Structure 1
Amino acid sequence: MDRREALRRTAWIMGGVISAPAMAGLLKGCAPKPSIDWKPSFLSNDQGILVTQVAEIIIPKTDTPGAKEIGVPGFIDQMLKEVYSKEDQDKYLTSLKAFDEEAKKEHGDPFIELDAEKQTTFVNKIHSAVVADTTENAPAYRDFLMKTKELTLLGFFTSKVGASEVLQYVAVPGSYKGCIPVSEAGNGKTWAT
């Protein structure tokens, strides 16, 4: 017997005493909470999970590793802690909170508790809105999304995998060959410099 059937039978035996919100809470409370395999030093654990999920949406795993697998979320955490000013850190955290509140408003749950499809749809929708609105009255979550995107791309393309498997990389370039076929010039990949 599965959990839903057990709850349904219990409610029937009790004469329907269990309310709908209590039932929903019981069903939702049994879902596993997402986790991360790195320890944030600047962000809280839940913020680290959120940043990890957004970074993986920005650069998902394909035939090459995604942002999460390379360790980009840890890179973002370190950049925020070590490089950003206190003012920029506070702005980022405030914007992250606004992003999560927008997810709650739209879906009824925090971003980290949404399923992967809803997360991807939400990030794409928010990203389109943020890119389209260049006014001073841009949504409060703009800073979080754009800085996370910037740091995800920076972390990914400066990693060994990003620089060598996605971009072309030659530590010490060879001689100049002015007129060669594209297939010999990296098949159209941009150089990692």
Structure 2
Amino acid sequence: MNRRDVLKNLGLSIGYAVATPSVMSLLQSCKTEIDEWKPVFFSADESVVVRNIIDLILPTTTKSPGALDVNVPEFLDLYIHKTYDNKQQESYKEGLSHLLKALQVTDQGTGFLKTGDYDTLLAKYLKAEKALQDKYKSHNKDGDNHDAMTFKALDKLRSVAVWSYKTSKEIGLNVLSYDPIPGSQKGCISVEEATGGKAWSL
């Protein structure tokens, strides 16, 4: 299955955002090996869960690198730590707590979890029927509905992971269609004709 099919099956429907230069430089600075990564916002268990979920959403393929190859989890850790205020960080932590609860992470930590556990989680929430997803989205924000809070946490993680992935230098230059000096404007042509079927990098 290629990346296009993976994203389509997960029901990806987010807008495209352009990152500011400071955010882009932050993303490019996140180049660490997993054994050397010391999260500043995520806890140890949260970092494992975030990495595994992001890896399934944006996996490495024969045609393009995956989210882990361009250090998306490391970027998110720094981005949230440096740009979110206390209230936003608390809200994000609450969402992560629902993900850990859904995966039944307790005192055992995350060492016992298998890829299938994460697959099941993604299938249950991100591949749910549209009516159920709409119900989760419209639910009140008081945190009393575990399923709604879990869906919202996964949906938010997916959205920011895809945004971070598309913002990385490797993806912007070598995977998406990149033209640093745009030429003439051509209207009414297909995406295939314009970029070979690729989305624009910027």
Fold match (TM-score > 0.5)? yes
Residue of structure 2 equivalent to 1:144: 153
Residue of structure 1 equivalent to 2:196: 187
- Structure 1 distance, partners of 2:111, 2:57, is 15
With over 3 angstroms needed to count, the CA separation of the structure-2 counterparts of 1:52 and 1:91, relative to structure 1, is: same
With over 3 angstroms needed to count, the CA separation of the structure-2 counterparts of 1:150 and 1:121, relative to structure 1, is: same
Seq. identity, %:
30
Residue of structure 2 equivalent to 1:50: 49
Residue of structure 1 equivalent to 2:87: 87
- Structure 2 distance, partners of 1:111, 1:98, is 14
With over 3 angstroms needed to count, the CA separation of the structure-2 counterparts of 1:143 and 1:86, relative to structure 1, is: farther
Give the length in aligned residue pairs.
157
Residue of structure 2 equivalent to 1:174: 183
Report the AA paired with residue 61 of structure 1. Answer: T
Between structures 1 and 2, the one with greater helix share:
1
1:162 maps onto 2:171 in alignment: yes
- Structure 2 distance, partners of 1:77, 1:71, is 10
Structure 1 runs of 4+ with >4 Å offset: 109-112, 177-184
Residue of structure 2 equivalent to 1:13: none
* TM-score normalised by L of structure 1: 0.69
Q: Describe the superposition over 1:120-147 as per-residue Cα deviations: whole angstroms up to 9, x where unpaired.
A: 2222212234734222245222342122
Residue of structure 2 equivalent to 1:72: 72
1:10-21 to structure 2, matched below 5 A, reads: none
- Structure 2 distance, partners of 1:48, 1:117, is 18
Q: CA RMSD in A?
A: 2.7
Q: Describe the superposition over 1:67-101 as per-residue Cα deviations: whole angstroms up to 9, x where unpaired.
A: 11110001110111111121111111111111111
- Structure 2 distance, partners of 1:49, 1:85, is 23
> Is residue 53–residue 112 contact of structure 1 (8 Å, CA) maintained in 2?
no
* SS in structure 2 of the partner of residue 141 of structure 1: helix
Q: Describe the superposition over 1:129-178 as per-residue Cα deviations: whole angstroms up to 9, x where unpaired.
A: 47342222452223421221121011100012222233201111123455
With over 3 angstroms needed to count, the CA separation of the structure-2 counterparts of 1:94 and 1:177, relative to structure 1, is: closer
**Structure 2 unmatched ranges of 5 or more:** 1-33
With over 3 angstroms needed to count, the CA separation of the structure-2 counterparts of 1:182 and 1:73, relative to structure 1, is: closer
Report the AA paired with residue 62 of structure 1. Answer: T
Distance apart, 1:118 and its partner CA? 2.6
- Structure 2 distance, partners of 1:118, 1:77, is 23
* TM-score normalised by L of structure 2: 0.67
Residue of structure 2 equivalent to 1:28: none
1:134 maps onto 2:137 in alignment: yes
With over 3 angstroms needed to count, the CA separation of the structure-2 counterparts of 1:183 and 1:153, relative to structure 1, is: closer
